[in-house]
């Protein structure tokens, strides 16, 4: 009953003030299909559908014990070679030049090897490229995945959202970018206000409605509601 009253009130206000009634859906600005560039067996899954993941957090990884061991050995070798070179560099004036060149070469080779081993290890890990919500998981623990599979995890941006408005086509000449939109999310009494940033150039044939966009914050994709596009 409360919802019907609020909707009726918004419609009556629009008729009196020549504001335009619109419904909306909260939509993510960014959607991604995440995969790996190498093949292997899924060894760990750290998140599930609906989880909120911060940028850089691990989502899943392949069985990578060999890559971890090789990287750790290479890292220690590079660290040792670097310390050896630094130690002899302090007394380079009394060290044979060929020997110093060897220490420098040995350090550079081992540092490069460690970097390559780290890259190989990171390729077995799938991390969040931005703050996101997982919407679909297309693999399970123990599954074999191929480098050609680009849809292991499907996601949407966590904070980068917009409202997609729908309003009657008869107002197509009255709606302009920059107009204020005052709205409520279904199930909430809180009022929000933002500006129209985009107007779609075509009409939805089935409903004879037009669409526009409004930037939003702190709203979950999938929510919906209604409001008024303020007349100018």
39 pLDDT above the threshold of 70: yes
Strand 132-137 relative to strand 125-127: parallel, antiparallel, unpaired?
Answer: unpaired
Q: What would the mean pLDDT of 24-43 be, rounded to a whole number?
A: 92
The proportion of the chain whose per-residue pLDDT surpasses 90, expressed as a percent, equals: 68
The pLDDT value given to residue 17? 54
Which residue has better confidence, 92 or 196? Answer: 196
Q: Where does the pLDDT of residue 218 fall: very low under 50, low under 70, confident under 90, or very high at 90 and above?
A: confident
CB-count burial class (<10 Å; 0-12, 13-18, 19+) for 65? exposed
> Taking the CA atoms of the chain, what radius of gyration do you get in angstroms?
28
Give one word for 56, left, alpha or beta, with left for phi > 0 and alpha for psi -120 to 50: left
Q: Is 30 helix (H, G, I), strand (E, B) or coil?
A: coil
Tokens matching residue 62: 């392949």
The position carrying tokens 């007349």 is 231
Query: Fold match between 2-29+160-229 and 32-156?
Result: no
The proportion of the chain whose per-residue pLDDT surpasses 70, expressed as a percent, equals: 92
> Rounded CA gap, 162 and 215, in Å?
5
19 pLDDT above the threshold of 90: no
Q: Return all residues near 6 (Cβ < 8 A) that are at least 6 apart.
A: 184
Q: What would the mean pLDDT of 152-174 be, rounded to a whole number?
A: 90
The CA-to-CA distance between both ends of the chain, in Å, stands at: 31
The position carrying tokens 């990578």 is 64
From the candidate CATH numbers 3.40.50.300, 3.40.640.10, 2.40.180.10, 2.40.30.170, the one assigned to the domain spanning 2-29+160-229: 2.40.30.170
> Rounded CA gap, 218 and 161, in Å?
8
Q: Where does the pLDDT of residue 172 fall: very low under 50, low under 70, confident under 90, or very high at 90 and above?
A: confident
The DSSP bridge partners found for residue 58 are: 127
From the candidate CATH numbers 2.40.50.100, 3.40.50.300, 1.20.120.1200, 2.60.40.740, the one assigned to the domain spanning 32-156: 2.40.50.100
pLDDT digits (tens, 9 = 90+) for 105-145: 999 999 999 999 999 999 999 999 999 999 999 999 999 99
pTM of the complete model: 0.70
Domain boundaries of the chain, sorted by first residue: 2-29+160-229, 32-156
Strand 125-127 relative to strand 58-62: parallel, antiparallel, unpaired?
Answer: antiparallel
Nearest to 168 by CA among 214, 199, 197, 211: 211
């Amino acid at each position: 009953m409360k919802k019907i009253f609020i909707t009726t009130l918004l419609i009556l206000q629009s008729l009196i003030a020549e504001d335009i009634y619109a419904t909306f859906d909260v939509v993510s600005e960014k959607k991604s299909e995440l995969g790996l560039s190498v093949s292997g067996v899924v060894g760990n899954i750290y998140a599930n559908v609906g989880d909120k993941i911060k940028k850089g957090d691990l989502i899943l990884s392949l069985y990578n014990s060999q890559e971890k061991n090789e990287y750790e050995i290479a890292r220690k070798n590079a660290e040792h070679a670097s310390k050896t070179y630094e130690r002899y560099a302090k007394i380079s004036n009394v060290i044979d030049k060929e020997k110093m060149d060897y220490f420098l070469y040995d350090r550079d080779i081992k540092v490069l090897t460690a970097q390559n081993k780290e890259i190989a290890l990171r390729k077995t890990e799938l991390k969040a490229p931005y703050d996101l919500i997982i919407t679909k998981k297309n693999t399970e623990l123990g599954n074999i995945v191929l480098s050609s599979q680009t849809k292991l995890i499907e996601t949407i941006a966590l904070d980068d959202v917009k409202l997609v408005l729908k309003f009657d086509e008869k107002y197509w000449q009255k709606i302009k970018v920059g107009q204020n939109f005052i709205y409520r999310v279904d199930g909430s009494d809180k009022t929000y206000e933002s500006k129209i940033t985009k107007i779609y150039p075509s009409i939805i044939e089935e409903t004879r409605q037009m669409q526009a966009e409004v930037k939003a914050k702190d709203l979950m994709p999938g929510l919906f509601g209604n409001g008024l596009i303020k007349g100018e």
